[in-house]
Structure 1
């Protein structure tokens, strides 16, 4: 097994960022520095159209911060790690690319915060657990967990989850809207890859504009959100893919998008 805490690879326009820190992918500062580097690498690679974040472990997606190191560190050291985490997750949300979390193991604390920063979450059925247990340590989520959970599941469910810090299973996460898809573990990789390649081979400028409209629109009054949508939509008409989409429809063929 590789000694790298995180692995990076590209397959057919899909980048994979794979957590690889045994036994639980618990992160420290070095882990997050490497993670941030790979997020930036995927964002800067024009050949990458979508990004999947997954794990080499069969039991853990990510257990969150390495508690032993967190306890031993100074407050200043822990704040440095948290700041790196916040920057990495902000880079995911600011990206023009679609990020997909592929989850098939325990997804806890900061690990769930990573998954929630992604645009989409696909997961397998199984007996593993999700949760934000920081309150049990006398803390609260600090890498965006409160705000992203609020947007995904609403206030009532978010405060229920956060105030007790209890764990929950994949079926509950899916029912609450925290997960987009739930499938057998044997099919998870295939379904995630098929979705990612469909996005990566699509009209990437339109996908990026759509992501921007949605992410910024949640913060804007309706009138401002509609204005943003108009500006983004108008910017696509004269693109190659915008013209190709109409032409392919008229010619009754599949469009050939180039991302331009």
Structure 2
């Protein structure tokens, strides 16, 4: 077994339970991205797994966001390419999410807590998303730090919500509750918190009972209907657009550094990240 530092992985009855456990806020840093990259890169060939459920050990944070350190050190972000599947034509987060989206298995995000930026992009790259109502909040926070989503957000979000709502989410950088996300089509369902585990378990077990060939074929057929444009090519266009705003200007980098120094990546700061950034 691979020695994961930030994941707990168990497999039973065709379902892999992947618990993200990277205190204090499940920050998408080198450690967590490396673990996710290894898991996604190897599970593709695991015939014992038909469904994968991603969940968090931290009820306050599913995945916080990509480490703000990469704003100040873009070379460290580029170095992540060696930790994720891909041929290097996309940026590391795009490669990670494309690999996740391309898995032959059915993937489910079981959402509690906050997921912003790259954390939300990761969830959108899964096949199904279920959230605890009143306990889950989602956003693409990048506009608040002077850039745009660059890990697939500009391509995945409009496919779920439509153009107008995607632009609203991306350019406001606001935090959305699970009920609104359900209304927007961002997630499959917002369910009462006490029902979330049972709901996801029932869906996972039902789908895990299908033949692997059925799952793969269904994903390919649906993607063919909904994605007339190749996702890899679309991600390439997103990368080109991101290059116009990242690396960010020095004043934006300094603002983000002040926010981090003020606790933006601590549990308390992450609970109110939007205002933490605004105050920086």
Q: Same fold (TM over 0.5)?
A: yes
Of 156, 163, 166, the residue aligned with 2:174 is 166
**Distance change (3 Å), C-alpha of 1:160 and 1:8:** same
Q: How far did 1:49 drift?
A: 0.8
Please tell me whether residue 75 in structure 1 is matched to residue 83 in structure 2.
Answer: no
Distance 1:3 1:108 in 2: 23
Q: Does the aligned pair in 2 maintain the 1:124–1:170 contact within 8 Å?
A: yes
* 1:28 alignment partner in structure 2: 29
Structure 2 unaligned segments of length 5 or more: list them: 82-90, 230-280
**Distance change (3 Å), C-alpha of 1:127 and 1:198:** closer
**How do 1:182-221 and structure 2 match up within 5 A?**
182-220=190-228
Number of residue pairs matched by the alignment: 218
Q: Does the aligned pair in 2 maintain the 1:58–1:105 contact within 8 Å?
A: yes
Q: How far did 1:87 drift?
A: 2.0
Q: Does the aligned pair in 2 maintain the 1:13–1:200 contact within 8 Å?
A: yes
Q: Does the aligned pair in 1 maintain the 2:8–2:19 contact within 8 Å?
A: yes
Q: How far did 1:124 drift?
A: 0.7
Q: Does the aligned pair in 2 maintain the 1:17–1:38 contact within 8 Å?
A: no
* Partner deviation per Cα, 1:95-121 (whole Å, 9 max, x = no partner): 111100000111111110000000100
* 1:137 alignment partner in structure 2: 145
* 1:65 alignment partner in structure 2: 66
* 1:53 alignment partner in structure 2: 54
* 2:45 alignment partner in structure 1: 44
**Distance change (3 Å), C-alpha of 1:198 and 1:3:** closer
Tell me the TM-score normalized by structure 2.
0.73
Q: How far did 1:128 drift?
A: 3.8
Distance 2:216 2:227 in 1: 17
Q: Does the aligned pair in 2 maintain the 1:129–1:170 contact within 8 Å?
A: yes
Distance 2:124 2:4 in 1: 27
* Partner deviation per Cα, 1:110-161 (whole Å, 9 max, x = no partner): 1100000001001111144210010100011110001100100000101111
Structure 1 unaligned segments of length 5 or more: list them: 222-260
Range moving further from structure 2, 149-158 or 206-215: 206-215
Bigger relative CO (Cα 8 Å, ≥ 6 apart) = 2
Tell me the TM-score normalized by structure 1.
0.79
Superposed CA RMSD: 1.8
Distance 1:71 1:159 in 2: 23
